[in-house]
Amino acid sequence: MIRNKFYIALAIIIIFIFIGSIISAGCKAEGEKEGTEEEEVQEGENATEEAVASEENEISEVNDISVEEVYEIINTNQDYIILDVRTPEEFSEGHIEGAVLIPVDELEGRLYELPLDKPIITYCKSGGRSRNAANILVENGFTLVYDMCGITDWIDKGYPVTTEEEAAEDNDVDSVVQAITVDEAYEFFNNEDYIFLDVRSQSEYGYCHIQGAVNIPVDELENRLDELEKDKTVIAYCSGAECSRSGMAAQILVNNGFNQVYDMIGEGIDEWQEKGYPVVIEKK
C-alpha cells in the first residue's frame, strides 16, 4: 500500500515536471519570436530612414561646375543666376558681368532676393566662401545649385571681368537694392517721382494690384526696361513673404543702371491690401 502511494506520488511529480518543461519551452519560443519580430521591425525602420536620408541627399546637393562650363552658359544666354558671394570691395575690383552680389555673411538674410526655380552658380575668390554659400542655399530649399569656386581661375583663363569703374561710365553713383516696408512705401504712394512696379504675372496683376502700379513680369523685365524712366525711383513688389520676384527684379534694374530701386519687403501686396491701402480689384 505504501509502495503504491509512493509510485503514485512519483508519477504525479514527473507529470508536473513534464508539463513545466513544455510551458517553459513555449514561453522561450514565443520570446524568441517576439524578439525576431522586433528586430525585423527595427531593421525595416532603419532601412526606411536610410532611404529617406539618401533621397534628401540626392535632392539637396551642391554640384561642381567648371569655369569653362560657366563661360559657355553666359555666352549662350542660358537662364542661370551668377552669384558673387565676396565683399562689395572685391566685387568692385572685378566681377563676372551680370553677376548678383550678396556677400556670404548676408546670404541667409537675403535669400528672398533669389528665385527658387532657377539654377544658381556661386563663386568667390578661391572657393571657400562659394562652397559655404552653396551649402546655405541647399539647406534652404534651393535644389539647382552649382559651385564654380574661384574667380581667379576665371581670370587665369582670360575670361572677361567687369569693374565698378567700367560700370560707372553710365552711372555717376553706385546703386544697390534697398529694402522698404509696406508702410514706408505707402508714404510715397502719391509721389509722381515714384513708380510702383508689379513684377507678377499679368493674371495676378489683373486680379488685384496697387492702384497706379505698372505691370512688367520679372521674366520680361530685361526686354522691357525702356518702359521705365531711369530718373524716377522704382518700388518693386510681388505677393507673400516667400515671393522672391520683386528682389530679383530690383537687382535687374540696378544691374541696368537704375539708381533708386527699392524692394518692398514683408507680405508684398497681400500686406498692402490688408492694411487698407489703395488697390484695384478685378470685378467678376
* 238 noted as active-site residue: no
Residue 78, SS3 per DSSP:
coil
How far is residue 256's CA from residue 250's CA, in Å, rounded to a whole number? Answer: 10
Catalytic residue chosen out of the listed positions 27, 124, 149, 208: 124
Give exposure, 130-154, as e/b (b: 16+ Cβ within 10 Å).
Answer: bbbbbebbbeeebebbbbbbbbebb
Dist CA 46 CA 23 (whole Å): 34
- Residue of 146, 89, 82, 88 lying closest to 114 (CA atoms): 82
Contacts of 181 (CB under 8 A, 6+ apart): 264, 265, 266
| Percent helix / strand / coil, the chain, rounded to 5 | 50, 20, 30
Kindly list the catalytic residues.
124
